[in-house]
């Protein structure tokens, strides 16, 4: 395969920073005492969750739109997004008084639709089309061509990448003022726009800093592409980390990351959930799943970062409160604290009491119990959820459950059963 060199000149990031300075918030670079103590190093957080639209996406959207010609601006802009990019485009359209048509899948939650309406006001028209993002994107591109508008790509655009790279410009400026020298920078990779810009700037101005790209385990499209030295399209992805779950990275971002990213980390979605809850309870930070990726990656680098100085980019804080129950569930499953079984219960009085006395440990709790009693059988099927206080108690629990019902089914190990029953 012919190696294509990166086409981003870091001077474009400096120029983007000048364009954005009166529109984009300079977000805090904060020392995090909890994480620093936990990992025995010096951890700083770049708080892009405190951006005007609660994510870094505003930077790339504003920069890409602001450099358009007067004719392009007058004809209007479009984008396809169900999340932060749409909010960035909407905010920019209102600021620059442009007409924008934003395509979102029909399945987009109302919370996200309302946020786009709020930021865009009367400058934005929202079109809900398609059950999937791919269907939505197809319609957006067709509409763009038909109406001679300009499509604003969420990541595979040099001007978008340059805008995202201003995060690094700010980090290094703030670090220089405080006499901080970073050994590592951790940032999320979805399509690759953020870390393409950040790593390019760090390599030019702080080459000793290792740039680590972090992806969700179920959607590691950049890592897979780099490993095979070609852009691959993942057939199936876990969309839970919605801000970073991309099936196919961009050509520009692939070319740039190939030369500037030092390592890639794939983080289990359950670990991301644990991090979200930990950040909320310990640091009072509301991070969306993609925003928590960089902090989750520290577990994978514990030995390397000990005694070092690192910065994690909290890329976004648009976390729907309605997802918290799912986030807690995934965290407990990942930490091996919550477990589900299908059991056959004897259809006689006292069977449940026997189970509680003989099977459950003193610190175990029943969180789910569904019993289907059949008059013509001696046993009834039970779906039961048990939450442990200590994950080390799992093996003894399984042993006691096997004695109670040797034919039990452990649902946690069967994703299809879990999705159907739980």
Label each residue of the chain as H, E or C: CCCCCCCCCCHHHHHHHHHHCCCCCCCCEEECHHHHHHHCCEEEEEEHHHCCCCECHHHHHHHHHHCCCHHHHHHCEEEECCCHHHHHHHHHHHHHCCCEEEEECCCCCHHHHHHHHHHHHHHEEEEECCCCHHHHHHHHHHHHHHCCCEECCCCCCHHHHHHHHHHHHHHHHHHHHCCCCCCEEEEECCCCHHHHHHHHHHHHHCCCCEEEEEEEHHHCHHHHHHHHCCCCCCCCCCCCCCCCCCCCCCHHHHHHHHHHCCEEEEECHHHHHHHHHHHHHHHCCCCCHHHHHHHHHHHHHHHHHCCCEEEEEECECCCCHHHHHHHHHHHHHHCCCEEEEEEEEECCCCHHHHHHHHCCCCCCEEEEEEEECCCCCCEEEEEEEEECCCHHHHHHHHHHHHHHCCCCEEHHHCHHHHHHHC
Residues of the chain above pLDDT 90, percent: 86
**Res 3: pLDDT:** 45
Span 143-177, pLDDT tens digits? 999 999 999 999 999 999 999 999 999 999 999 99
CATH fold for domain 10-56+158-327: Rossmann fold (3.40.50)
| Tokens read off for 125 | 């028209």
Query: 50-54, 117-121, 317-321: which has the minimum mean pLDDT?
Result: 317-321
At 347 the pLDDT is 83
pLDDT at residue 136 greater than cutoff 50: yes
Residue 346 confidence (pLDDT): 87
Say yes or no to pLDDT of 227 above 80: yes
pLDDT tens digits for range 194-212: 999 999 999 999 999 999 9
What would the mean pLDDT of 349-378 be, rounded to a whole number? 87
Domains of the chain, residue spans: 10-56+158-327, 77-148, 337-420
Owner of token pair 């007058």: 74
pLDDT at 5 over 70: no
- CA 357 vs. chain centroid, Å, equals 42
Q: Which CATH code of 3.40.50.1100, 2.90.10.10, 3.50.50.60, 3.30.365.10 fits the domain covering 77-148?
A: 3.40.50.1100
Q: What fold does the segment set 337-420 form as a domain?
A: Alpha-Beta Plaits (3.30.70)
Asked whether this chain's domains 10-56+158-327 and 77-148 adopt the same fold, the reply is: yes
Q: Is the pLDDT of residue 373 over 80?
A: no
pLDDT at 2 over 60: no
Instruction: Look at residue 116 and tell me whether its pLDDT is greater than 80.
Output: yes
Instruction: Tell me: pLDDT of 400 over 90.
Output: yes
Q: What is the pLDDT of residue 380?
A: 87
Whole-number mean pLDDT of the chain? 94
pLDDT at 316: 96
């Amino acid at each position: 395969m012919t190696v294509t060199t990166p086409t981003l000149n870091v001077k474009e990031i400096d120029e983007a920073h000048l364009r954005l300075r009166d529109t984009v918030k300079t977000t805090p670079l904060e020392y995090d005492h909890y994480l620093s103590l936990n990992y025995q190093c010096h951890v700083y957080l770049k708080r892009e969750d405190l951006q005007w639209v609660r994510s870094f996406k505003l930077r790339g959207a504003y920069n890409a739109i602001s450099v358009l010609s007067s004719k392009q601006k007058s004809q209007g802009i479009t984008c396809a997004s169900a999340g932060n990019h749409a909010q960035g485009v909407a905010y920019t359209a209102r600021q620059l008084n442009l007409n924008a048509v934003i395509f979102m899948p029909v399945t987009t939650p109302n919370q996200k639709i309302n946020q786009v309406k709020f930021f865009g006001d009367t400058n934005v028209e929202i079109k809900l089309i398609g059950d999937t993002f791919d269907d939505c994107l197809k319609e957006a591109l067709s509409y763009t061509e038909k109406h001679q508008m300009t499509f604003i790509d969420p990541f595979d655009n040099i001007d978008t990448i340059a805008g995202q790279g201003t995060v690094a410009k700010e980090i290094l400026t703030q670090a220089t003022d405080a006499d901080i020298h970073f050994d590592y920078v951790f940032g999320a990779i979805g399509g690759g726009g953020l870390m393409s810009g950040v790593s390019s700037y760090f390599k030019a101005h702080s080459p000793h800093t290792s740039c680590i790209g972090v992806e969700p385990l179920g959607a590691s499209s950049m890592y897979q592409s780099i490993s095979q030295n070609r852009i691959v399209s993942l057939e199936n992805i876990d969309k839970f980390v919605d801000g970073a779950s991309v099936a196919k990275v961009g050509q520009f971002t692939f070319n740039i990351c190939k030369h500037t990213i030092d390592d890639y980390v794939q983080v289990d979605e359950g670990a991301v959930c644990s991090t979200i809850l930990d950040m909320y309870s310990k640091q009072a930070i509301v991070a969306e799943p993609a925003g928590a990726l960089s902090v989750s990656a520290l577990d994978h680098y514990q030995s390397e970062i000990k005694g070092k100085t690192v910065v994690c980019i909290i890329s976004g804080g648009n976390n729907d409160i309605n997802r918290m129950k799912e986030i807690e569930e995934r965290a407990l499953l990942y930490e091996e604290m919550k477990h589900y079984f299908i059991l056959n219960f004897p259809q006689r009085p006292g069977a449940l009491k026997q189970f509680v006395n003989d099977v459950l440990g003193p610190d175990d709790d029943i969180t789910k119990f569904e019993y289907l009693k059949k008059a013509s059988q001696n046993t009834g099927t039970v779906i039961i959820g048990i939450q442990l206080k200590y994950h080390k108690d799992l093996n003894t629990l399984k042993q006691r459950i096997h004695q109670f019902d040797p034919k039990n089914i452990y649902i946690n190990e069967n994703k299809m059963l879990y999705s159907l029953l739980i």
